[in-house]
Amino acid sequence: MSEYTAPLRDIEFLLNHVADSRFFNQQPAFIDYDPSLVSAVLAEAGKFASQVLAPLNHSGDIEGCRFHAGVVRTPQGWCEAYRQFCDNGWLSLALPEDNGGQGLPRFIAGAVHEMWLSANMSFVMFQTLTQGAVEILHAFASDDLKKLYLDKLVSGQWATCMSLTEPSAGSDLGSIRTLATKLTSELDDGRYLLKGQKIFISYGEHDLAENIAHLVLARTPDAPIGAKGLSLFVVSKYQLDESGNLAALNDLQCVSIEHKTGLHGSPTCSINYGEERGAIGHLIGAEHCGLQYMFVLMNEARLSTGQQGVAIAEAGFQRALRYATERVQGRDLISGAANVTIAQHPDVKRMLMSMHSQVFALRALSFQIAARLDLAQQGGEHSAAERRFIALMTPVFKAFATESGNHMAGTAVQVFGGMGVIEETGIAQLMRDVRVTTIYEGSTGIQANDLMLRKVVADNGFAINELIADIEADYTIFSVSSATVIETACNRAMLDSLKDSVCYLLSATKTEQLCAADSFLQLVGFSCTSWMMMRAYVAAINANSTDTAHLGNIKALCQFYFAHHTPKIQSLYHTVVNAQSGIGDYQLSC
Amino acid sequence: MSEYTAPLRDIEFLLNHVADSRFFNQQPAFIDYDPSLVSAVLAEAGKFASQVLAPLNHSGDIEGCRFHAGVVRTPQGWCEAYRQFCDNGWLSLALPEDNGGQGLPRFIAGAVHEMWLSANMSFVMFQTLTQGAVEILHAFASDDLKKLYLDKLVSGQWATCMSLTEPSAGSDLGSIRTLATKLTSELDDGRYLLKGQKIFISYGEHDLAENIAHLVLARTPDAPIGAKGLSLFVVSKYQLDESGNLAALNDLQCVSIEHKTGLHGSPTCSINYGEERGAIGHLIGAEHCGLQYMFVLMNEARLSTGQQGVAIAEAGFQRALRYATERVQGRDLISGAANVTIAQHPDVKRMLMSMHSQVFALRALSFQIAARLDLAQQGGEHSAAERRFIALMTPVFKAFATESGNHMAGTAVQVFGGMGVIEETGIAQLMRDVRVTTIYEGSTGIQANDLMLRKVVADNGFAINELIADIEADYTIFSVSSATVIETACNRAMLDSLKDSVCYLLSATKTEQLCAADSFLQLVGFSCTSWMMMRAYVAAINANSTDTAHLGNIKALCQFYFAHHTPKIQSLYHTVVNAQSGIGDYQLSC
């Protein structure tokens, strides 16, 4: 039996009944995507995830990537899996049709992406890089660059990586020092020579594809200081002739890979550009707009990272459920029956439901964001509002889902008891793999500040009040039915805490806002997931399905969530409005 | 600079002004332990922890224990450190004076023990084993056995281990199958032959001491089934002649050590007893009383495990603080100053204070328990109440401090950002090391059930209401002063949630009690730590110390705790009274 089975019923319920994707077969652009087609794609993806990717997950962790003399070898079986991943069309699923992609909507691609991450997160990290790089090149690059790169990236013949971080420029990209000097000779027109050292480059070097297009943030000699002086370059691992054929190696070298706590199968590279004559790169778009372009990829990566939290939690839940329903230990404290499976112990069942309900709620939110991404791309009358929702939700989902993912990976280990910390069991790998997700692509603190300052305070609460109005509109409908009146009232009271928090924060000092940022982000996270769970609860009550057992479980998960997770909003509100207590008076040097 | 510096000022403040140890120099038995003597012991221990133990922590993690042909080698430097640890009297600190120990009170020994755990938890795990084994032998063994074992265990010439778990007997020790058959020949009178397989035996085999006394739970052939049929044996690695000299190897063998996520320096052994002719063991006390005796060691181990949570969090806090005050990154969002240390960013300062305040609060609780252990041992008029407090607090402190320790280790990694998941940084080791603490010595779920059924429901709330009355008595005093009236009122409101929870639970169904057990344990944990923080707050306000900076920091930490941690009681209450929601209806096989 595979380590992972795609949770198709949960996924389809959320796509068809909870997230805004439920309206998609009413949209002209997606009229073809009826539920049965979506089902077929999901089922095929689920098979690929369990049969091809999942079996390489634990072996990849044990073997890890190997580095020697600038060359990185991925674990055994990965090159073949990459080839199949590309050949079967999974890489190009949501990429532009003009370049050989299939242009599927995000709500489908997102659901599929979660499966890859559950099955083998280390492996599939290249996909988000390609997705983001293609978007950037498509939107901002010259036609020549598009012609050179896009088709080959979409097919997977070439891979890509995102070269941002430097030893002294992590969260603060404005400190980037890598230098890009324009070549002025007639022959080299439009080219730059890059020199600098980059670290923490995921898939910066590997053996999966014949070439790697590095997207590198660098500074031109006369650029303004800080983030506004950064430009974006594409630097090919191999130099290219005019037809795009690979020529000599470019002047860049992977000098080491990191020895990390998790994600052993994903090479994290230190790369030196231009140690000799300078690495030849091409400017993307205009000079000094690099960070703005890169944010297209970064926002993509942030949403994908949030999904990593969900996906690892799903993987952990599945394994914990299997173990708990097989492992016999102890007596049923209610019935007195001897030798029961541990899943029958109420506290173990509580842990399983805690994971399942959180995964379910977070996945609903992820699908909701994906559906809005699709709507925003349609450019309809509400597309500005859709974009505000996505901008608001990006930091929330990234940080909240990864923090939750870390907690849930811990819970999964806990269900295994002593076996959980034995590496051969495989469950501790999930805990190690998910650890970095609250850090990379902008740490939780960075997301919290982004939410607070750029997404809430900067527009004086416009976007968040729009969100609150959306939630309230749902609750007003739900409160009419006697079947959901109690749950709605409870969630409405919690929503008041969100409203009160926003009110407080908009008139708070900047220090108060920053001290409250993390708690506020969590408060918004629980509010949005509770909203999704209210939708799921109502949908499960009203659904016409013969699968009553599944609907019963969904209702149970929602009720559990309202009792075990939603109430955290209460105490978070208390923290938000008192967040600065003691912080000003505390001396770090004491 | 050492990786660890004992937090002497925090420790002494809590011992002298917060925990009940503050009354100790008024007690006849401890009249000699004035603060300056205590200071001297703590300072020496602090030096040993930083200079001898801490330097071996990371190298021990990297090197790990090696196993070959039944022999376990600890990492380089450990044998020498063990010798020094014993020679300098640290092993025997709180062991009986009759056997060469120093008989120091628990409140001092406990504070010192935390330092060892912060400096090198993998290494020092043998100490709790010796402490508990000596207590068991002292209380229950025959004079002959005492004479054979006690002096050598106290001096560290011999070590000990606790052989409980079997592959199908983990949390449910009643399922233990290891068989002990009494030898009936005249020559072998009083001896048993043991046969069975034990797993997860910490320090079951190693090269630190010349002999290891295994305390083994086993079943005599005619024993009743379940936990009431277990007897406790001491099985010496080497057979002993009548004078206690080492003879031939006993029939027991370490067959493997585990490949664990953390604690690489602590060998976790699988041991086969009696594969050939049977391992010779001696019964301790009476047959069928084994589990009752072993609980002396297990309660000891549970309190020590709780301290592991505190100690790892302290270690993580210290390293995170150092990194955050050195690492320069980004702009101060309030003042606009460029290139500030990350500790100046409010959210990073929040993380540091979150760790520091939790460590401080949990340490206070650990000292409070230690002080009550000392008082209980005095056998005064309140000793029954002291024992009830300790019995009530053991599961709470074990589970709450280790769960918190896991969260804080995660926070420490978070402060390091990307460097946190690079193994060479050393911080991820803490996260890996602390992971098992919520599992071994009774998982969090086991502790929660113990608290709920045996410590709260079984005595119809007597002990917990005694605790609530103790807390209320303090709050009544604190509410008088205008300097603390607001904080007291806030904490009193939270205490009401504890009272209401107890009320609800005492009349709830057993299923409701078990579903609520985990949340209730956390609620009690936050209530008790908040109580300790109220004491600390009042003490810091009233203290006559010239170290006003330190007092200012303590006040700030308390205020922070009341804003960021105490409010969790509110939402936990909400969960406790609704804990069963959905659990009954959720189908595991769906």
The answer to whether residue A257 neighbours chain B at the CB level (below 8 Å) is no
Residue B284 DSSP SS3: coil
The answer to whether residue A88 neighbours chain B at the CB level (below 8 Å) is no
The answer to whether residue B567 neighbours chain A at the CB level (below 8 Å) is yes
Confidence of residue B381 (pLDDT cuts 50, 70, 90): confident
C-alpha dist (Å) from residue A244 to A241, A253, A321, B371: 5, 21, 50, 76
- Tell me which chain B residue has its CA closest to the CA of residue A554: B586
- Tell me which chain B residue has its CA closest to the CA of residue A324: B588
Look at residue B463 and tell me if it is in a domain: yes
C-alpha dist (Å) from residue B482 to B308, B473, B486, B487, B548: 37, 17, 8, 10, 20
Inter-helix orientation angle A510-542/A383-415, to 10°: 80
At residue A507, the pLDDT reads 98
> Are the CB atoms for B230 and B219 separated by under 8 Å?
yes
Q: Per-residue pLDDT tens for B70-80?
A: 999 999 999 99
Instruction: Tell me if A590 and B553 make a contact (CB, 8 A cut-off).
Output: yes
Is 70 exceeded by the pLDDT of residue A187? no
Q: Per-residue pLDDT tens for B156-179?
A: 999 999 999 999 998 899 999 999
The answer to whether residue A413 neighbours chain B at the CB level (below 8 Å) is yes
Chain B nearest-CA distance from A159, in A, is 23
The answer to whether residue A461 neighbours chain B at the CB level (below 8 Å) is no
Question: What is the C-alpha to C-alpha distance for residues A194 and A278, in angstroms, rounded to an integer?
Answer: 5
Please measure the distance between the N-terminal and C-terminal CA atoms of chain A and give it in whole angstroms.
Answer: 56
Look at residue A589 and tell me if it is in a domain: no
Confidence of residue B189 (pLDDT cuts 50, 70, 90): low
User: Residue A163's domain is classified under what CATH number?
Assistant: 2.40.110.20
**Which positions of A are catalytic?**
441
Is 90 exceeded by the pLDDT of residue B563? yes
At residue A186, the pLDDT reads 66
Q: Answer left, alpha or beta for residue A495, where phi above 0 means left and psi between -120 and 50 means alpha.
A: alpha
Look at residue A314 and tell me if it is in a domain: no
Q: Which is nearest to B309 in space by CA: B455, B439, B127, B171?
A: B439
Question: What is the C-alpha to C-alpha distance for residues A521 and B409, in angstroms, rounded to an integer?
Answer: 21
The answer to whether residue A330 neighbours chain B at the CB level (below 8 Å) is yes
Q: Which range of residues forms the domain containing residue A448?
A: 444-577
Question: What is the C-alpha to C-alpha distance for residues B305 and B434, in angstroms, rounded to an integer?
Answer: 10
Rg of chain B over Cα atoms, rounded to whole angstroms, equals: 24
Q: For a pLDDT cut of 90, what percent of chain A falls above it?
A: 93
Q: What is the mean pLDDT of residues A408-416?
A: 98
CB pairs < 8 Å spanning A and B: 284
Segment holding A455, helix H or strand E: none
Instruction: Tell me if A414 and B330 make a contact (CB, 8 A cut-off).
Output: no
Q: Per-residue pLDDT tens for B501-544?
A: 999 999 999 999 999 999 999 999 999 999 999 999 999 999 98
Domain boundary among A288, A311, A337: A288
The answer to whether residue A435 neighbours chain B at the CB level (below 8 Å) is yes
Instruction: Tell me if A582 and B574 make a contact (CB, 8 A cut-off).
Output: no
Question: What is the C-alpha to C-alpha distance for residues A94 and B37, in angstroms, rounded to an integer?
Answer: 71
The partner residue sitting opposite B553, judged by closest CB among A406, A432, A586, is: A586
Structural domains in chain A (count):
2
Instruction: Tell me if B171 and A421 make a contact (CB, 8 A cut-off).
Output: no
Question: What is the C-alpha to C-alpha distance for residues B223 and B232, in angstroms, rounded to an integer?
Answer: 12
The answer to whether residue B452 neighbours chain A at the CB level (below 8 Å) is no
Is 90 exceeded by the pLDDT of residue A82? yes
Q: What is the mean pLDDT of residues A38-58?
A: 97
Q: Per-residue pLDDT tens for A116-145?
A: 999 999 999 999 999 999 999 999 999 999
| Burial class, A118, CB count within 10 angstroms (exposed 0-12 / middle 13-18 / buried 19+) | buried
Chain B partners within 8 Å of A436 (Cβ): 418, 421
Q: Per-residue pLDDT tens for B265-302?
A: 999 999 999 999 999 999 999 999 999 999 988 998 99
Segment holding A131, helix H or strand E: helix A106-140
Among B571, B576, B577, pick the best mutation site for testing chain A contact (most A Cβ within 10 A): B571
The partner residue sitting opposite A262, judged by closest CB among B324, B339, B421, is: B421
Instruction: Tell me if A346 and B515 make a contact (CB, 8 A cut-off).
Output: yes
Among A261, A263, A317, A435, pick the best mutation site for testing chain B contact (most B Cβ within 10 A): A261
Look at residue A262 and tell me if it is in a domain: yes
- Is the torsion defined by CA of A554, A558, A560, A564 positive or negative? positive
- Tell me which chain B residue has its CA closest to the CA of residue A556: B582
At residue B34, the pLDDT reads 83
Chain A partners within 8 Å of B575 (Cβ): 563-564, 567
Chain A partners within 8 Å of B449 (Cβ): 333, 347
More confident residue, A190 or B175: B175
Instruction: Tell me if B418 and A569 make a contact (CB, 8 A cut-off).
Output: no
Is 80 exceeded by the pLDDT of residue B590? no
Q: Per-residue pLDDT tens for A90-103?
A: 999 999 999 999 99
Residue B243 DSSP SS3: coil
> Are the CB atoms for A282 and A182 separated by under 8 Å?
no
Mean pLDDT, chain A, whole residue set: 96
Chain B nearest-CA distance from A147, in A, is 35
Summarize chain B as % helix, strand, coil (round to 5): 60, 15, 25
Confidence of residue B186 (pLDDT cuts 50, 70, 90): low
Look at residue B503 and tell me if it is in a domain: yes
Mean pLDDT, chain B, whole residue set: 96
Question: What is the C-alpha to C-alpha distance for residues B549 and A219, in angstroms, rounded to an integer?
Answer: 44
> Are the CB atoms for B517 and B455 separated by under 8 Å?
no
Question: What is the C-alpha to C-alpha distance for residues A575 and A505, in angstroms, rounded to an integer?
Answer: 12
**Which positions of B are catalytic?**
441
- Tell me which chain A residue has its CA closest to the CA of residue B414: A439
Residue position matching structure tokens 């993690």: B61
Domain boundary among A288, A303, A335: A288
Q: Per-residue pLDDT tens for A215-244?
A: 999 999 999 999 999 999 999 999 999 889
Confidence of residue A188 (pLDDT cuts 50, 70, 90): low
Look at residue A320 and tell me if it is in a domain: no
Question: What is the C-alpha to C-alpha distance for residues B469 and B353, in angstroms, rounded to an integer?
Answer: 30
Instruction: Tell me if B421 and A438 make a contact (CB, 8 A cut-off).
Output: no
Q: What is the mean pLDDT of residues B555-584?
A: 98
Q: Token digits for A64?
A: 């890890």
Residue position matching structure tokens 């999942």: A54
Is 80 exceeded by the pLDDT of residue A190? no
At residue A184, the pLDDT reads 81
Look at residue B469 and tell me if it is in a domain: yes
Chain A partners within 8 Å of B339 (Cβ): 175
Chain B partners within 8 Å of A414 (Cβ): 438-439, 443-445
Q: What is the mean pLDDT of residues A395-415?
A: 98
- Tell me which chain A residue has its CA closest to the CA of residue B10: A590
Chain B partners within 8 Å of A410 (Cβ): 406, 435
The answer to whether residue B165 neighbours chain A at the CB level (below 8 Å) is yes
At residue B35, the pLDDT reads 86
Query: What residues of chain B, 332 to 351, have a C-beta less than 8 Å from chain A?
Result: 333-334, 339, 343, 345-351
Pairing, β B211-219 against β B158-163: parallel
Look at residue B107 and tell me if it is in a domain: no
Is 90 exceeded by the pLDDT of residue A32? no
Domain boundary among A288, A303, A320: A288
The answer to whether residue A545 neighbours chain B at the CB level (below 8 Å) is no
Backbone angles phi, psi at B11, to 5 degrees: -60, -45
Q: Per-residue pLDDT tens for B16-60?
A: 999 999 988 787 878 878 889 999 999 999 999 999 999 999 999
> Are the CB atoms for B505 and B456 separated by under 8 Å?
yes
Chain B nearest-CA distance from A341, in A, is 11
**What's the DSSP call for residue B207?**
S
- Tell me which chain B residue has its CA closest to the CA of residue A332: B511
Query: What residues of chain B, 197 to 216, have a C-beta less than 8 Å from chain A?
Result: 199-200
